[in-house]
C-alpha cells in the first residue's frame, strides 16, 4: 500500500518524507487556505519535496474552465495529479486530461457506482471518503470493500483506490486488508501508526537494562 500525506504544510511534508514512508501528497483548497500562501507556490514547492504524485485540485465547476485549470496545474511539474470532482463535468475533464497523459484523481466519491464511472473515465485514482460517510452513520469501510471487489473483477479498470478522509489507524489497516492501493493520511494519523504501549514499555525496559551495564556503543 502506498502512503500519501494529506496536507499542504510543507514543513510537515519534509519531516515525514525524510522517513521514507511518503509516496505522494494530496492537497485541496481548504488545506492550502490554511497555509496562508499562494496556491500555485505551495503546490510547486510540494512537488520538489516528493517524487510521487501530488494532487492539486481544480476550483472551477464547468468542464471548459476545469480543463484549463487542470492543464495549468499539470504544467507545474511532471508529478502533478490533477484533482477533479466526481461530477459530469469533472469526469469529462478527467477523460480529456487522461487522454493527454496527465494523472487524474477523481475526488468526493461516495458510492461504488460513482467509482465505476471514475474508472471508465480513465481516472488514475478515485478517492472515496471514509470518514465523511461514517459521520452520517453510513459504513465508509464497506464502500472501500465494494470498490476494491468491483475493480478486481475487470482487467480494463486500472484506477487505483485512494482511501481518503481517514480518521484513525483502524481505517488504514482495514483498507489495507481489503486491498486498497493507496491511503492518504493526515500527518497526525500517520504518526499514530508508530504508537503502541508495548513498544514504549519494551524500549524503556531495554534502555534501563543497558544503563545498568555502564557501557556505550560509541565509546567502545
> Is residue 218 included in any domain, yes or no?
no
> Is residue 84 included in any domain, yes or no?
yes
Average pLDDT over residues 5-14: 95
> Is residue 213 included in any domain, yes or no?
no
How many structural domains compose the chain? 1
Residues 6 or more apart whose Cβ sits within 8 Å of residue 146: 112
* pLDDT over 80 at 30, yes or no: yes
> Is residue 159 included in any domain, yes or no?
yes
- Full domain range(s) for residue 146: 2-205
* pLDDT over 80 at 218, yes or no: yes
The residues carrying an active-site annotation are 83
* pLDDT over 80 at 161, yes or no: yes
> Is residue 215 included in any domain, yes or no?
no
Give the CA dihedral 6, 13, 189, 131, nearest 10 degrees.
0
> Is residue 11 included in any domain, yes or no?
yes
> Is residue 211 included in any domain, yes or no?
no
Tell me the three cell numbers of residue 201.
Answer: 514499555
* pLDDT over 80 at 220, yes or no: no
Query: 4 — phi, psi (to 5°)?
Result: -105, 145
Res. 34 pLDDT band, cuts 50 70 90:
confident
> Is residue 210 included in any domain, yes or no?
no
We report the CATH number of the domain holding residue 149 as 3.20.20.70
- Which pLDDT value is given to residue 36? 87
Amino acid at each position: 500500500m502506498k502512503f500519501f500525506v494529506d496536507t499542504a504544510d510543507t514543513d510537515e511534508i519534509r519531516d515525514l518524507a525524510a522517513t521514507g514512508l511518503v509516496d505522494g501528497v494530496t492537497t485541496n483548497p481548504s488545506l492550502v487556505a490554511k497555509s496562508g500562501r499562494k496556491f500555485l507556490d505551495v503546490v510547486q514547492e510540494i512537488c520538489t519535496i516528493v517524487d510521487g504524485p501530488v494532487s492539486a485540485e481544480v476550483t472551477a465547476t464547468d468542464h471548459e474552465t476545469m480543463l484549463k485549470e487542470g492543464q495549468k496545474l499539470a504544467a507545474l511539474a511532471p508529478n502533478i495529479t490533477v484533482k477533479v470532482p466526481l461530477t459530469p463535468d469533472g469526469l469529462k475533464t478527467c477523460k480529456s486530461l487522461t487522454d493527454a497523459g496527465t494523472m487524474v484523481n477523481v475526488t468526493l466519491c461516495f458510492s461504488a457506482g460513482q467509482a465505476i464511472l471514475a474508472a471508465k473515465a480513465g481516472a488514475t485514482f478515485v478517492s472515496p471518503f471514509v470518514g465523511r460517510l461514517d459521520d452520517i452513520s453510513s459504513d465508509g469501510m464497506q464502500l472501500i470493500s465494494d470498490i476494491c471487489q468491483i475493480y478486481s473483477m475487470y482487467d480494463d479498470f486500472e484506477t487505483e483506490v485512494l482511501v481518503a478522509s481517514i480518521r484513525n489507524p483502524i481505517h488504514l489497516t482495514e483498507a489495507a486488508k481489503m486491498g486498497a492501493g493507496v491511503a492518504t493520511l493526515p500527518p497526525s494519523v500517520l504518526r499514530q501508526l508508530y504508537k503502541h504501549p508495548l513498544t514504549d514499555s519494551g524500549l524503556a525496559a531495554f534502555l534501563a537494562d543497558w544503563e545498568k551495564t555502564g557501557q556505550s556503543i560509541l565509546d567502545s
